[in-house]
Amino acid sequence: MGLTATLAARIAATRYEDLSEPARAAARRLVLDGIAVAVAGTHEDAIRILAAHEQALGGTPEATAIGFGFRTDSVRAAALNGAAMHVLDFEPMWSPATHALSTTLPVALALGEARGLAGREVLTALVNGIEIQGCLREASGQFIPEQLQFHPPGLVGPMGAAVAAAHLLELDGPRLQHALGIAASRAGSVFSNAGTMTKSTHCGQAASLGLDAAMLAARGFTGDAETFDSPQGFAGTFHKSTFRPEELAKFGPPWRVVSPGYAIKMFPSQFGTHFVITAGLDLHHQIDDPRTIRAVTLVGPVMPYVNRPLPETGLSGKFSFQYVLAASLLDGKVGIATFTDATLRRPDLQALLPKITFRMDQDIPARFETMHVEATVELADGCTLTARCDGPRGVWGKPPIPEAEHLAKVRDCLSVRLTPEATERCIALAESLDAQSADGVRELMALIGSGS
C-alpha cells in the first residue's frame, strides 16, 4: 500500500481503547477549554453576523449553534461553532503552530449530537483529528512565517476535520482515503485576513469543509485516494520539496495531545504576543507611573504580520506586538476587553503607541518553541528597565497552567452566557466526557447552546 492507504488504515483502526489515559485526560481538558472560549466568542460581532447568516440559510435542526439557541445541520453548526471557538484567539496553541482544536472539536460535537453518540467516541474523534494535523504540520517542513504561504489551520484543518468525522461516521480505510482527497481540494487560507473577522472563519470553514468531505465519502463520493502520494496531491501541491512523509508514519501513540502537547492560552490574542505581554507585565510592576515612559524598544524575531505600530481596530490589536505591549505596560493585565475598539481609542494607549519601536532581529529564531523577546523602557528620569521572555507560562517544556487557574479562565468565559449552576454542570460534563452517554453529550450541547 502507498502512504495514504497505510495511514488511512491506521486511522480507521483507532479506537477509544487505543488511547492512553494521559491522552484521554488531555482531550477532556481540551474539550473544556474549547467550549468555554466558544461560548465567550459568541459575544463578538463577527460571530453574531455569522450566526444570523447561518440561521437564515436554514438546515436540518440536528446540531446546536453554541450560544444562539437554534439548531441547524451539522456542517453549518461546525462552521459557526468553529469560528466562535477561534474568534478570540483564546484556544490552545500547538507545536508546530496551528489551531487544531477549533478545526476539530466542533465537528466531533456536532456529529456526536446529531448521531446520538457517546462521549468516548467524541473524544476519540477529537484525538484523531488533532493527531493528523500535528503530523501534517511536522511533515510540511515549514515552520517559520517566511516559509508559510497559508494560514496553517486553513491548510491542515480540513484534513483533521475529515479524520475526526470519519471516526464518527465509521468510515473504513478506503472511504477515508477518498475523504482526505476531497478535503485536500478544500485546503488553504491567506494570512492577510489576520486581524479581520474573516480569520475566525479559517477554523470554522476548515471544520465544516472537512466534515462535509467525510459525509460525501460516506455516500460513495470519490476524491484522489492517494493525496499524500500523488505528485499534485496535498503534499505535492502545498509542500513540494519540503514534505517529509516519514512524519505521517508517526500517527498514533504517544499522541500529540500528550507529546509535545498544547499550550493553554491565558491571553486572548495571537500566541507570539504572549511573549510580549509577559515581558510587558513584568515591566508594569516596576514602573510607578506609566506616564513617565519616554520610549520603549522591543526586540523580537522577524514576524512582519505582528508588526502593527498603529492598529486600526481592537481586533487588529490581537496581532500587534506594539499594542499588546502598550496595554500590558499601562494596565498590568490583558483580557477580552483589551481588544475592543473602545480600549484601543483610550487616550493613554494612543499616546504610548508612537513611543514603541519594534526591531526585528534575524538572529532570533522565528518559532514559538525557540523565540524570545526583550522589551526596554526608558523613563523620564533617564532610568531604563528591561524584561525578557523566553516563553509564556504553560508553553511546551514548562510546567502546565495549573488546573485551578485554567478553571478560573473557563468559568470566566462560560459566565458570558451561562448561570453559575449551568457553568458548573458544563464543567462536570466536559471533565467526564468519555463516561457520558449520548444523553450526556446532548445535555452538554443544550447547556452551551443557550441563547440567554
* 3-state SS assignment for residue 30: helix
- Cell numbers for 363, please give them: 538572529
Angstrom distance (rounded) from CA 116 to CA 437: 9
Residue 187 and residue 312 in one domain: no
Which of 389, 410, 435 delimits the end of a domain?
389
In this prediction, residue 145 carries a pLDDT of 84
With 0-12 / 13-18 / 19 or more C-beta atoms within 10 angstroms meaning exposed / middle / buried, residue 351 is middle
Residue 121 and residue 181 in one domain: yes
Residue 395 lies in a domain: no
Residue 158 lies in a domain: yes
Which of 352, 358, 313, 318 lies closest to 335 in space, CA to CA?
318
Are 11 and 251 within 8 A, CB to CB? yes
In this prediction, residue 240 carries a pLDDT of 87
Residue 54 and residue 170 in one domain: yes
Angstrom distance (rounded) from CA 145 to CA 124: 31
In this prediction, residue 343 carries a pLDDT of 98
Residue 10 and residue 57 in one domain: yes
With 0-12 / 13-18 / 19 or more C-beta atoms within 10 angstroms meaning exposed / middle / buried, residue 231 is exposed
In this prediction, residue 452 carries a pLDDT of 60
Residue 51 and residue 113 in one domain: yes
Residue with cell 505535492: 236
In this prediction, residue 164 carries a pLDDT of 98
Are 287 and 112 within 8 A, CB to CB? no
Angstrom distance (rounded) from CA 25 to CA 200: 27
In this prediction, residue 28 carries a pLDDT of 98
Residue 88 and residue 142 in one domain: yes
Which of 203, 138, 137, 210 lies closest to 167 in space, CA to CA?
210
Residue 282 and residue 236 in one domain: no
In this prediction, residue 146 carries a pLDDT of 82
CATH assignment at residue 203: 1.10.4100.10
* 3-state SS assignment for residue 297: strand
- State the residue range of the domain holding 114: 3-266+401-448
Model pTM? 0.97
Residue 54 and residue 183 in one domain: yes
Mean pLDDT, 10 residues at a time, the chain of 452 residues: 96 98 98 98 98 96 97 98 98 98 98 98 98 98 89 98 98 98 97 95 98 98 98 95 95 97 98 98 96 98 96 97 98 97 98 98 96 98 97 93 98 96 98 98 96 65
In this prediction, residue 74 carries a pLDDT of 98
CATH assignment at residue 343: 3.30.1330.120
Residue with cell 521572555: 389
Residue 214 lies in a domain: yes
Q: Which residues face 293 on adjacent strands? A: 379
Domain count, the chain: 2
Residue with cell 462536570: 428
Residue 189 and residue 71 in one domain: yes
Which of 239, 357, 218, 350 lies closest to 299 in space, CA to CA?
357
Give the DSSP H/E element, type plus range, for residue 65: none
In this prediction, residue 397 carries a pLDDT of 85
Are 83 and 154 within 8 A, CB to CB? no
Residue 312 and residue 434 in one domain: no
Are 396 and 93 within 8 A, CB to CB? no
Are 189 and 150 within 8 A, CB to CB? yes
Rg of the Cα atoms in the chain: 22
Residue 152 lies in a domain: yes
Instruction: Transcribe 379-447 into DSSP letters.
Output: ETTS-EEEEEESS-TT-TTSPPPPHHHHHHHHHHHHTTTS-HHHHHHHHHHHHTGGG--HHHHHHHHHH
Helices (H) and strands (E) in the chain, counts: 18, 8
Query: How many alpha carbons fall within 13 Å on the CB side of residue 393?
Result: 11
Residue 396 lies in a domain: no
Amino acid at 423: T
Residue 132 lies in a domain: yes
- Dihedral angle, C-alpha 239, 240, 244, 250, nearest 10 °: 50
